[in-house]
Amino acid sequence: MYEALEALAEEKALSEKQAAGATTQISDDVRGKLVKFLWQLKKQGLKERSIETYLYYLKQLIRHGANLYDPESVKETLAKIS
């Protein structure tokens, strides 16, 4: 869990250093929601590797343009990348 949180923090630091025209970045709001979600998974007793897997796939969805607040956007993105 802590590694996943550290990875988010490192990504934030890296995204702040990137140029304005860089690829899609995770907003602070979404990042906060991801941390809360990962913490819930930890409290439910999921293993660290499972939590890291959740984070990986959520970040992939975001990277491909999915709006995690919109289920239709997630479905469209999944259809597009599969």
Q: Which range among 7-11, 30-34, 36-40, 65-69 shows the weakest confidence by mean pLDDT?
A: 7-11
Question: Roughly how many angstroms between the first and final C-alpha of the chain, as a whole number?
Answer: 28
- pLDDT for 20 beyond 50: no
When pLDDT is averaged across residues 53-77 and rounded to a whole number, the result is 94
- The shares of helix, strand and coil residues in the chain, as percent rounded to the nearest 5, are 70, 0, 30
When pLDDT is averaged across residues 23-41 and rounded to a whole number, the result is 86
What percentage of the chain carries pLDDT values higher than 70?
Answer: 74
When pLDDT is averaged across residues 11-30 and rounded to a whole number, the result is 61
